[in-house]
Amino acid sequence: MATRLKFENSCEVGVFSKLTNAYCLVAIGGSENFYSAFEAELSDVIPVIRTSIGGTRIVGRLCIGNKNGLLLPHTTTDQELQHLKNSLPDQVRVQRIEEKLSALGNCIACNDHVALTHTDLDKETEEVVADVLGVEVFRQTVAGNILVGSYCAFSNKGGLVHPHTSVEDLDELSTLLQVPLVAGTVNRGSEVIAAGMTVNDWTAFCGADTTATELSVIENVFKLREAKPSAIVDEMRKSLFDS
Amino acid sequence: MAQDAGMFMVHQTIGSVLCCKCGIRMQPNAANMCVKCLRSEVDITEGLLKRLVLVHCPECESYLQPPRTWVKLQLESKELLTFCLKKLQKNMNINKVKLVNAEFIWTEPHSKRVKVKVSVQKEVYNGAILEQSYLVEYVQQDHMCESCSRVAANPDQWVAAVQLRQHVSHRRTFYYLEQLILRHGAAARAVRIKQMDHGIDFYFSNRSHGNKFVEFIGKVAPVKSRSDKQLVSHDSKSNNYNYKYTFSVEISPICREDLICLPPKAAAILGNIGPIVVCTKVTNSIALLDPLTLKFGFLDAEQYWRTSFKSLLTSRQLVEYIVFDIEPVSSEITVGGTKYVLADAQVARVSDFGSNDTQFSIRTHLGHLLKPGDHALGYDLYGANTNDMELDRYKGYIPEVVLIKKSYEEKRQKKRAKARSWKLKSLNMEVDDKIKVDEDKRDAEYEHFLKDLEENPELRFNISLYQNKDYQPSEVASVTEDDGEPIPSVPDDELLAANLLAAEFDDLDLIEDGDGEDNMAE
């Protein structure tokens, strides 16, 4: 189910939150409505943790994680690190890494099995990613942009990429990631997908400006409508979306 | 670029996305919305002027260009389009909109609306350029422009008047001047032209027009002018004074073919040429030729008016002579563009010819033209009764006869068809009813002027001659075959094609007589 919300009048919810299958990180300092939206959906299933990273609110763009682990930039303070270690479930490995490109959320996009990284990422970081997150790492670009973490968002079920991605690129990425991909937009035509939304296997949160069309595309590609009777969904899928 | 380096590039097919608003498939663009949705979102014509006022003068069909200029423009013309678009330009620049195309939408001419369809481009949403066309309506408001209102208020109002005068008994100069003025369009700005005794009055609505006209006349005739002004009204608050300006222009009384006895002062300026001289050419200077020695001199306007002398005998007093014998004395000499040959001749007056034996042995400058048996026109100093102080004072030799030109009268009388192949335009002149006009005299003078034009190609130089559409050449051809020598006539290539000027010609009243003579309507 996809929900539309805003963080302090900004529709870029992917900047202020990080959603995975095992936990959810949310920035502090916003209104209670923001947390309520997350808690309403998720609190009985996974922990929703309020935190800052390096004293900033842009938690979604600075860290990267999946159900196996969480990677934090070197700017994270010890207190934050400790807080996170305490709040997260035990099977989630938390690690702070030394990397020149400190906005890990912009540089790496991952799900539970595969990760796409910035082409200039250190070899060491790549190894840490492979190790801590337990994923296969591929250096890639999306529609000519090296900030793969910003311009694509994918879960174990599907993925959404930058709208200018060519058909060949889409096929290539799809083969790598082994999930169906679609090129689309979020927040009324914004191309920065991962900043405008955050997603896991059963739910997604998008900015309030997201149009109905975009929302339907998201719900279809990430397979968020599984709960509904499938016949209608299949019909709709055929008419709306073929890739 | 990687491609230039020879790297293998996979061909990139652009995929398709759904429009974020309406969900139809489209190629991704900067806004990621289909064009229709983008148009519905953004109206780039917002804030642009759509209704403007054009001030138009119905009398002279011109439009106001603020603050005070009036430009004459035609409906649906390129100039009007430029004029209309200029008014939109500033507003467009403020809104950062670029003009791409504009065209007129037809409206009824008397609807007082001008509609222009304008296409503009603007950048929206980080990079997407949207083009939209919209309609601009110009309301035409009628307002008389200054010059038209002044004309309407008082149509006879003039500000400058030029009074052209020449104190001679004929009007040849004015006929010639009229043709010159027509050719150069010098009187185009004249409000009124009036024919007066011994001259013509020209009225203008602006002092500078009058001044320009006076300068034009000064270039084509030897004149003396003075100007005066008269106060009409005075606004003491803003210190505006309105005047009426008058230019009094006097043309020298010396005309072509006049015989002059030079006063000693004038002769001294010209190098002491003999006191009896013939005037050969009058432009803004007077050319004088001594017929006995073939010496010539030029007097420009200033010099003439310093020693203002009158002619001794004018072309009215020309007498016809018959040439018996001619003997060239000198070789051909070119004087001021024309050739002359000094010759001794035996002549007798036609009136004497047959009745008595009076003959004259004279020296003439027309040796190149005359042959025995020819008729010539000249001044009879032997029999003339002159009242000239200079002539009385002069103690030296005075010739008895001075021949001026060859006469074609005989041959002309043989000419049956009197219609000419060319005709002239005339100025739109008012005639003062108070002056008694001798119609026959006028007609004879005009006919004389036309004959002059035929005989002298240099006179025709500055004049426009037009083809006479009603002329039949066949009759004249037979006449020329009879004579050994053709009558002087105007060659066809000098005539301007009538069809170019047919429209203007229709305004003229050229009446043809029963025997085909053209008269000037005054």
Q: Give chain A's domains with CATH numbers.
A: 2-233 (3.75.10.10)
pLDDT cut 70: percent of chain B above it = 85
**Residues on chain B bordering chain A, Cβ-to-Cβ distance under 8 angstroms:** 10-23, 28, 31-33, 125
Helix (H) or strand (E) holding A10: none
Smallest Cβ–Cβ distance between A211 and the set B13, B15, B21 belongs to B21
Q: How far is CA B273 from CA B7, B122, B264, B268, B292, in A?
A: 100, 84, 10, 8, 10
pLDDT of residue A229: 52
Q: For B273-301, what is the mean pLDDT?
A: 86
pLDDT of residue A13: 94
Residue of A nearest to B17 (CA): A184
Of residues B410 and B296, more confidence is placed in: B296
Contact A167 B125 (CB under 8 A): no
pLDDT of residue A1: 75
**pLDDT tens-digit readout, B218-275:** 998 999 999 999 998 888 899 888 889 999 999 999 888 888 888 888 888 888 887 8
Q: For B299-310, what is the mean pLDDT?
A: 88
Q: Which stretches in chain A have pLDDT values below 50? A: 228
Contact B11 A168 (CB under 8 A): yes
Structure ipTM: 0.76
pLDDT confidence tier of residue B393, bands split at 50, 70 and 90: confident
Residue of B nearest to A170 (CA): B15
CA distance B48 to B45: 5
pLDDT of residue B494: 62
Q: Which residues contact B246 (CB under 8 A, 6 or more apart)?
A: B160, B161, B162, B163, B227, B228, B229, B230
CA distance A205 to B360: 132
**pLDDT tens-digit readout, B98-120:** 888 999 998 888 888 989 999 98
Distance from CA of A153 to the nearest CA of B (A): 16
For all residues of chain B together, what is the average pLDDT? 80
Helix (H) or strand (E) holding B191: strand B190-196
Distance from CA of A210 to the nearest CA of B (A): 8
Contact A191 B32 (CB under 8 A): yes
- Evaluate if pTM is beyond 0.80: no
Q: Does A161 touch chain B (CB under 8 A)?
A: no
pLDDT confidence tier of residue B500, bands split at 50, 70 and 90: very low
Q: For B43-53, what is the mean pLDDT?
A: 83
What type of residue sits at position A203?
T
Distance from CA of A209 to the nearest CA of B (A): 10
Distance from CA of B20 to the nearest CA of A (A): 6
Chain A residues whose CB is inside 8 A of the B16 CB are 183
Q: Are B217 and B231 in contact (CB under 8 A)?
A: no
pLDDT at B520 over 60: no
Q: Are A89 and A44 in contact (CB under 8 A)?
A: no
Residue of B nearest to A240 (CA): B23
Return the top range by mean pLDDT from A195-199, B93-97, B398-402, B421-425: A195-199
Contact A185 B20 (CB under 8 A): yes
Contact B17 A189 (CB under 8 A): no
DSSP conformation class of A53: B
Q: Give residue for tokens 């409508």.
A: A225
Chain B residues whose CB is inside 8 A of the A166 CB are 12-15
Return the top range by mean pLDDT from A51-60, B19-28, B432-441: A51-60
pLDDT of residue A125: 93
Distance from CA of B37 to the nearest CA of A (A): 11
Of residues B25 and B507, more confidence is placed in: B25
pLDDT at B472 over 90: no
pLDDT confidence tier of residue B183, bands split at 50, 70 and 90: confident
Q: Does A213 touch chain B (CB under 8 A)?
A: yes
Contact A183 B23 (CB under 8 A): no
pLDDT of residue B268: 86
pLDDT confidence tier of residue B43, bands split at 50, 70 and 90: confident
Q: What token pair was written down for B85?
A: 């678009």
What residue ranges in B337-400 does DSSP mark as E strands?
338-340, 343-349, 360-364, 375-380
> Which residues share a beta bridge with B518?
B512
**pLDDT tens-digit readout, B345-380:** 888 888 877 787 788 888 888 888 888 888 888 888
pLDDT of residue B449: 83
Query: Cis (ω within 30 of 0) for the bond into B491?
Result: no
pLDDT at B502 over 60: no
Q: Are B65 and B55 in contact (CB under 8 A)?
A: no
